[in-house]
Amino acid sequence: MTSSTVAGQGLGTLADQAYRSISDRLVTLRIRPGEPINDERIAAELGFGRTPVREALKRLEHERLIVSYPRRGTFATEVQIADLRHISEVRQQLEPLAAALAAQRAGEGDRGELNRLLAQLADTSDGGEDLIRLDMTVHRAIYAATRNPYLEDTLVRYDNLATRIWCLFIDRLPGLAGHVHEHGPLLRAIIDHDAQKAAALAAGHVEGFEAAIRSVI
The domain ranges of the chain are: 3-76, 83-214
pTM reported for the whole predicted model: 0.86
| Residue-wise DSSP of the chain | --HHHHHHHHHHHHHHHHHHHHHHHHHTTSS-TT-EE-HHHHHHHHT--HHHHHHHHHHHHHTTSEEEETTTEEEEPP--TTHHHHHHHHHHHHHHHHHHHHHHH--HHHHHHHHHHHHHHHH----HHHHHHHHHHHHHHHHHHTT-HHHHHHHHHHHHHHHHHHHHTGGG-TTHHHHHHTHHHHHHHHHTT-HHHHHHHHHHHHHHHHHHHHTT-
User: For 83-214, CATH number?
Assistant: 1.20.120.530
pLDDT digits (tens, 9 = 90+) for 81-140: 889 999 999 999 999 999 999 999 999 999 999 999 999 988 876 666 778 889 999 999
For position 170, what pLDDT does the model report?
83
Mean pLDDT across 163-181: 80
Provide the pLDDT for residue 1: 37
CATH of the structural domain 3-76, one choice from 2.30.42.10, 1.10.10.10, 3.90.1150.10, 3.10.20.30: 1.10.10.10
